[in-house]
């Protein structure tokens, strides 16, 4: 939901929040597979940090700045000496905070690669004319991650990121997606041309290793390094820019990041900036169009509804819904199952409404089902599955979740 009191930001209502949480839970499971550790970082940092990172010089117009309204008072001057605390910036990205985490303890080559993931909100001061629904907002979330690695690990780590993209996008059943290499901008970049050429060559090797075709966008890289952008086509044939993988030799130098190599020499790591979904809000919008609102079971905010054939069976419908949803059992796998016990419509109309609401499964209960402890179940498309026990139905739901169906 978009509201004039929050231009460029959105309210995520309950069903939308369910989908976002499913997407995050899915990524968290994949993080275990690919060796990421999730962290949480501050929303706001002092101007000094943004000067160190280069964002103040190269990205300030796209940031939200905050001036502290507080003044600090020296304990011995009885309030005569006031000093402003300074200017702060809302973070548009997580990389500076992750650099601080990396630098918080000494690192050895044996510790690398270090992969840090972060879902915390980001803010970018997008022009009002560029704002567009869920696809471009001022407050958003990324499945953001940064990989700190040696130069020798670059190609293998980027190849792993591309494999991650392939696995996730196949789960979404995108019919097609393309890789694009974005190279050094003509101006407003940091670092030497030689460093940029080295970084671009590493990305080219990783792209070649996929065996997939890729194209080049000259001058479209970020100010701190070249990147790989992933363009997806939804079921309607529309193209969308989503994932990004960026190689960065500059930020580790600006923050003075070091690790000790096998010869006990201090070396500077390389950072790979990586987002598989990109903006979660934008991916949400793409998936709405891609699925036409007919969410697969594992992503659906309305996985099942139980309908009583008459009012006397409303309590049983509610009981079944609670058993299927798993709300009564701590640690039990949970599903989004409702019971429609307030409708006064006839059963056929209730079923049509449930189909219109796009529940994946529609269960009907009456005297027969209450006596046998079962549910008469059908799919959203109208396929009749017949009577099933609660345990069998939960088993079916678990299988669909596990197989991302």
Known catalytic residues? 95, 124, 142, 144, 146, 227, 273
Which one, of 341, 376, 337, lies nearest residue 360 by Cα? 337
Answer yes or no: are the C-beta atoms of 20 and 280 closer than 8 Å: yes
Three-state SS for 200?
Answer: helix
CB atoms within 10 A of CB 177: 19
Answer yes or no: are the C-beta atoms of 124 and 174 closer than 8 Å: no
Q: What is the 3-state secondary structure (H, E, C) of 340-393?
A: CCCCCCCHHHHHHHHHHCCCCEEEEECHHHHHHCEEEEEECCCCEEEEEEHHHH
Please give the structure tokens belonging to residue 139: 């407050």
What sign does the CA torsion over 345, 348, 354, 359 have?
Answer: positive
Which one, of 183, 179, 281, 195, lies nearest residue 232 by Cα? 179
Relative orientation angle of helices 154-171 and 193-209, to the nearest 10 degrees:
50
Q: Given the DSSP bridges, would you call strands 139-149 and 176-182 parallel, antiparallel or unpaired?
A: unpaired
Alpha-carbon separation of residue 279 from 98, 163, 206 (angstroms): 18, 19, 23
């Amino acid at each position: 939901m978009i509201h004039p009191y929050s231009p460029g930001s959105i309210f995520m209502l309950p069903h939308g929040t369910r989908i976002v949480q499913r997407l995050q839970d899915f990524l968290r499971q994949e993080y275990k597979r690919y060796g990421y550790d999730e962290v949480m970082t501050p929303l706001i940092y002092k101007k000094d940090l943004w000067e160190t990172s280069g964002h103040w010089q190269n990205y300030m117009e796209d940031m939200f700045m905050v001036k502290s309204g507080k003044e600090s008072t020296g304990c011995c001057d009885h309030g005569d000496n006031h000093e402003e605390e300074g200017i702060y910036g809302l973070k548009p990205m997580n990389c500076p905070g992750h650099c601080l985490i990396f630098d918080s303890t000494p690192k050895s080559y044996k510790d690398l690669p270090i992969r840090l993931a972060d879902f915390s909100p980001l803010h970018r001061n997008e022009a009002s004319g560029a704002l567009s629904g869920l696809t471009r907002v001022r407050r958003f979330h990324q499945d953001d991650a940064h990989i700190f690695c040696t130069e020798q690990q670059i190609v293998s780590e980027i190849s792993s990121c591309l494999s991650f993209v392939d696995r996730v996008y196949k789960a979404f059943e995108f019919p097609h997606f393309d890789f694009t290499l974005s190279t050094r901008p003509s101006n407003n970049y940091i670092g030497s041309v030689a460093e940029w050429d080295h970084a671009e060559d590493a990305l080219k090797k990783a792209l070649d290793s996929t065996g997939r075709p890729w194209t080049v966008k000259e001058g479209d890289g970020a100010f701190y390094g070249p990147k790989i952008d992933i363009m997806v086509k939804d079921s309607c044939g529309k193209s969308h820019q989503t994932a990004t993988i960026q190689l960065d030799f500059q930020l580790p130098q600006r923050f003075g990041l070091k690790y000790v190599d096998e010869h006990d020499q201090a070396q500077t790591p390389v950072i790979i900036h990586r987002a598989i979904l990109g903006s979660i809000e934008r991916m949400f919008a793409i998936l709405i169009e891609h699925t036409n609102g007919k969410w697969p079971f594992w992503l659906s905010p309305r996985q099942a509804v139980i309908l009583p054939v008459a009012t006397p069976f409303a309590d049983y419908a509610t009981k079944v819904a609670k058993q299927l949803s798993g709300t009564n059992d701590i640690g039990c796998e949970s599903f989004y199952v409702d019971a429609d016990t307030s409708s006064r419509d006839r059963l056929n109309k209730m079923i049509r409404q449930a189909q219109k609401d796009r529940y994946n499964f529609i269960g009907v209960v009456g005297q027969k089902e209450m006596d046998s402890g079962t549910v008469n179940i059908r799919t959203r498309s109208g396929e009749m599955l017949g009577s099933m026990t609660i345990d069998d139905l939960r088993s079916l739901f678990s299988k669909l979740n596990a197989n991302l169906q």
